Structure 1
Amino acid sequence: MPFVGGFRHILKTEGLSGVYQGAAATAMKQGSNQGLRFMWFNEYKRIVTDGGEKTMSPLMGLFGGMSAGCFSTLGNNPFDVVKTRMQGTQASNYSSTLDCFKQIMAKEGVGAFYAGIVPRLGRVVPGQGIIFMSFETIVSQLEKFSIFQ
């Protein structure tokens, strides 16, 4: 039971606050991730379908999802870096999420906020392409039934 053992260890060594270490950074990372992704995809969809006048092909959904994944990753990687550091073994070096941001900027510069961007893009971009393509394809098939119109 690695999860239970890890949970007990955190409670024993850091207390209940250790369980929530990095929660603010995680919320910022996920909020910006989804916000940027859906904002981009909805604008892409509006453009390629002429405001809904044309249907979106699966290939258009794939490209839209891939571009949305790229946009959201580039936009929120700084939050992901901070989240990872706040939840890592060196988390005690930071007094807060804001302190973590400040220390990274002061000691390592802006480039540090983009650490790991290439492998993350390699995972997120194709995954989001498939997810958005699948969603758009499923919705278009369901719309053929009158109960969904």
Structure 2
Amino acid sequence: MVGYDPEAKCVSSVEAAAAGSASGLVTRVLISPLDVLKIRFQLQIEQLSSRSPGAKYHGILQAVQRIFQEEGLVAFWKGHVPAQFLSVGYGAVQFMAFESLTKLVHNVTSYDGRDSCVHFACGGLAACTATVAVQPVDTLRTRFAAQGEPKIYHSLRHAVATMYQTEGPRAFYRGLTPTIIAIFPYAGLQFSFYNILQQFSEWVIPAKKKRYYESNIKNLVCGSCAGIISKTLTYPLDLLKKRLQVGGFERARAAFGQVRTYKGLLDCIRQIMLEEGPGGFFKGLSPSLLKAAVSTGLVFFWYELFCSLLCALKSTDSPARREG
């Protein structure tokens, strides 16, 4: 189970960072198509209905078919290089910070490091730390996933140079405010609900009765459920972040329908409410929930698996070192 446990945890902060990086890398490869779909829906101004003639995408299957026909299979991995930098960096910082914070809380305060409230606070703080560290890469990922044909950015280097020259360094941190506001409760809820579901599963099926593969499946299911709950509760802030991140990028969005320019977070909220209604804040929710279920489940699954492998390697090395 993630979080500091003096009786069971055997990974250091550095090993937690390594496991988090590996988890992020493997997960990103598998969920990239869902991420592209989510971003396309989030950035579409028109109503998500086949009765709306201006809407390019009406549903998940229709969007998949249209993207494949117009842009080819590789379109589902647009922005994959910056997305991998994002996942590897984010996973490393988040899990290293989370393990360190839960250990600090356990050692310095009277709170148990395995408590769900501690997981909420430490998970939120760890995610905020990771977000600030990788925000420029997240902005690049969003722009690559958002652009159609012909491409505005031809490579990661070209994108960085163009954004810096035309929009300045602040462009890389667009959408940071709603990101920070959203990521704390989102990640906090992820970790706390994962912890709650893990404890519930232990109550239903004691650990001694579970086989190894059953524990892995349990981690996947608990992570998926935690991802769905946390994403649903914090989704509007994720949409606001995406809208703000593509500011100044309107010409690349022209092929997808209407575009808007937002002066800031409050102006973005106002325009969406006036033009798209309350439902506008939940555009792309279906692919987003699908992505959240898959990605969060896989992240916790791979993280727990890599931590278990590291612990196993350390336990096998210890006797050899003692004999030497």
Deviations 1:64-116 (A, max 9, x none): 11101111221222111111100113597222223212322233222111111
Match of 1:75 in 2: 233
Deviations 1:119-145 (A, max 9, x none): 122222123223323444555673894
Match of 1:54 in 2: 206
Greater displacement, 78-87 / 130-139: 130-139
User: What CA distance in whole angstroms lies between the structure 1 residues aligned with 2:172 and 2:302?
Assistant: 35
Match of 1:3 in 2: 156
Give the share of equivalent positions with the same residue, in percent: 28
Match of 2:195 in 1: 42
> What is the CA-CA distance between 1:14 and the residue it aligns to?
2.1
User: Which secondary structure state, in structure 2, belongs to the residue aligned with residue 36 of structure 1?
Assistant: helix
User: What CA distance in whole angstroms lies between the structure 2 residues aligned with 1:17 and 1:47?
Assistant: 45
Matched residue count: 145
Contact 1:44/1:64 (8 A) holds in 2: yes
TM-score by length of 2: 0.39
Q: In the alignment, residue 102 of structure 1 is paired with which amino acid? A: R
Segments of structure 1 that go 5 or more residues without pairing to the other structure are: none
Deviations 1:8-52 (A, max 9, x none): 2222222232232212123233333311211211111122223xx
User: What CA distance in whole angstroms lies between the structure 2 residues aligned with 1:26 and 1:110?
Assistant: 20
User: What CA distance in whole angstroms lies between the structure 2 residues aligned with 1:19 and 1:137?
Assistant: 34
Contact 1:25/1:82 (8 A) holds in 2: yes
Greater displacement, 65-74 / 120-129: 120-129
> Which is higher, the Rg of structure 1 or of structure 2?
2
Match of 2:282 among 98, 109, 114: 114
Match of 1:87 in 2: 245
Match of 2:133 in 1: none
Greater displacement, 89-98 / 109-118: 89-98
Match of 1:96 in 2: 264
Greater displacement, 121-130 / 32-41: 121-130
User: What CA distance in whole angstroms lies between the structure 2 residues aligned with 1:92 and 1:63?
Assistant: 39
Match of 2:301 in 1: 133
CA change 1:137–1:11 in 2 (3 A) is closer
TM-score by length of 1: 0.77
Match of 1:13 in 2: 166
Segments of structure 2 that go 5 or more residues without pairing to the other structure are: 1-153, 251-258, 319-324
User: What CA distance in whole angstroms lies between the structure 1 residues aligned with 2:299 and 2:161?
Assistant: 36
What stretches of structure 1 move > 4 A for 4+ residues in a row?
Answer: 137-141
What is the Cα-based RMSD across aligned positions, in Å? Answer: 2.9
